[in-house]
Amino acid sequence: MNLKRVLGLDILADRYAYADDAVTGYTSAKRVPDRWVPTTCGYCSVGCGMFIGVKNGRAVSVRGNADHPVNAGVLCPKGLSEHETIHADSRATHPLFRPSKKSKIYRVGWEDAIQSSPPLGPAACASGAGRA
């Protein structure tokens, strides 16, 4: 920590700067997207409609879709944090396979995962869903 920070003179203005988004109004400057992409929340089976805010190819924010019949623009805390999980280091981005409960989990291709899932059961193949 630098001296200005210790003395309270460094307020981390770059980190906490705000801006005026055309859709959501005043918000963190880091969360103002270049464009909003319509999608469906993938956290649970409710399937709320949402928009992901994308800036320089990265998801930076999320908002509910007011015209969606399921949620009418309202999102729960998990949905509101959806953009945070997309780039999480621990997010599984490929199928994982564990032949038995005592085996290690290892990476497999999508075709192998799809082919082997039904006879082995859903517990044998994990895509990362439900681990949040």
C-alpha 90/C-alpha 113 separation (Å) is: 20
**Residues in contact with ligand SF4, total (CB under 6 A)?**
11
Q: Does 48 bind ligand SF4 (CB under 6 A)?
A: yes
Q: Does 43 bind ligand SF4 (CB under 6 A)?
A: yes
Cβ nearer to ligand SF4, comparing 29 with 80? 80
Site string for ligand SF4, 61-80 (x = CB under 6 A): ----------x---xx-xx-
Q: What is the DSSP string of 55-109?
A: ETTEEEEEEE-TT-TTTTT---HHHHTHHHHHT-TT---S-EE-SSTTSPPEE--
Q: Applying CB under 6 A, which residues contact ligand SF4? A: 41, 43-44, 46-48, 71, 75-76, 78-79
